[in-house]
Structure 1
């Protein structure tokens, strides 16, 4: 699967069913030494506003991803 194929997928937390937008609106953090994805930064529209484009980000570790389906990316994090 190519990175461009992930853009339209909705990001959902398995723990509580919360939706965090589409991957196209998120940022990816990469490991500098090997280029692997380290985490996804998803906009936190429900949190306080910041000077960075008017939104804060929630960092989702790549290890929290449980399933990448046709239309959805499911992750599991308890503390969001």
Structure 2
């Protein structure tokens, strides 16, 4: 299966165990030395129409990805971690 990283932005990340929806992929973390994807990142939600910034991003390590669908990516959310915006 071939795909482009840009196509990941059209996919929603969903927890495989309870169906919780986290949002759409906003970024991808890549190891430049090996060329492998390390994590998928969902941007944090806006707080009060964006006036108070955003919540923390949610980072899903590549190991937590279980299945790719046409419109969704299923993950095991227990392995997800949050990342502070830099």
TM-score range, shorter chain: 0.7 to 0.9
- Flag the structure with larger Rg: 2
Unaligned runs of 5+ in 2: 46-52, 81-86
Unaligned runs of 5+ in 1: 46-52
Higher-RCO chain (CA-CA 8 Å, sequence separation at least 6) = 1
Superposition pairs for residues 36-55 of structure 1, below 5 Å?
Answer: 36-45=36-45, 53-55=53-55
Query: For 1:19 and 1:10, how far apart are their aligned partners in 2?
Result: 7
Quote the offset at 1:79 in angstroms.
Answer: 5.8
Name the TM-score, length of structure 1 as normaliser. 0.74
Moved beyond 2 Å, runs of 4+ = 77-80
CA RMSD of aligned residues (A): 2.3
Q: What is the number of residues matched between the two proteins?
A: 73
